[in-house]
Amino acid sequence: MMPRKMSIYFGMVGALCFSIAHLMKWYSSTILSNSKIYVDGIVEFATYVNVYYSVVLGAALLLLTFFFINFSFEMNPSKIRNQMRSTLRPDQQFHSQPNVYSSIFKSIGAITIIIGLFIAIYIWSDGIKLPKDQTSVFLFGLAPFLYCLVGGLTFMGFGEVIKLIQQIRDKNESA
């Protein structure tokens, strides 16, 4: 298992590479579809960029895989429980039962964010025929992603609040 900071850096670099790969594909396909209005050097460069799209996308997915694998080891429930028990004094230890509603809200939040990301990628990859102005296509894709991001984070926040309230209740019952 790699150190936590390295895993976070891998995740950030992977997300950045994923964004760059998508932008590479978007711009090169835009240039190649309108190749009549561009200079030959720009069309050749777009073809060159299109070749390396899969390499950058593969590197991004590899880095994101490292991040998510390490994150799943970090979020192992037994490991978190053991760390929590070791940080509490013996008179403070309490046994909290997992709150079903908290995990449901957090799952709904995560699923909402992922769905928003897929919708944005679908719109950005010309899945829906929109005006060819690049700014409008970007904004049409950004709007649903931001809505889903805010909604998902709100659900995750509610889940965390429910979990904290449950922990306070369990702590008060054990005292």
Degrees, nearest 5: CA angle 111-114-119: 120
Sign of CA dihedral 103, 105, 111, 114: negative
97 and 172, same structural domain? yes
pLDDT at 127: 66
> What span, in angstroms and rounded, lies between the C-alpha atoms of 36 and 28?
14
Q: What are the tokens at 114?
A: 């992922």
For residues 41-65, average pLDDT:
80
- Given 41, 75, 109, which residue is the final one in a domain? 75
133 and 91, same structural domain? yes
134 and 94, same structural domain? yes
90 and 66, same structural domain? no
95 or 27: which carries more pLDDT confidence? 27
71 and 87, same structural domain? no
Residue 175 has what DSSP assignment? -
pLDDT at 112: 85
Q: Which of 88-92, 98-102, 123-127, 142-146 has the lowest mean pLDDT?
A: 88-92
Coil, strand or helix at 52: coil
Q: What are the tokens at 14?
A: 């992977």
Q: How many domains does the chain have?
A: 2
Q: Average model confidence (pLDDT) for the chain?
A: 75
174 and 95, same structural domain? yes
34 and 95, same structural domain? no
98 and 62, same structural domain? no
pLDDT at 96: 54
90 and 166, same structural domain? yes
Task: Evaluate if residue 62 carries a pLDDT over 60.
Answer: yes
Say if residues 154 and 108 touch (Cβ distance below 8 Å). Answer: no
For residues 25-38, average pLDDT:
79
Q: Report the percentage of the chain scoring pLDDT > 70.
A: 74
Identify the domain containing residue 14 by its residue range: 1-75
Q: Report the percentage of the chain scoring pLDDT > 90.
A: 0
Task: Evaluate if residue 47 carries a pLDDT over 70.
Answer: yes
pLDDT at 10: 73
168 and 98, same structural domain? yes
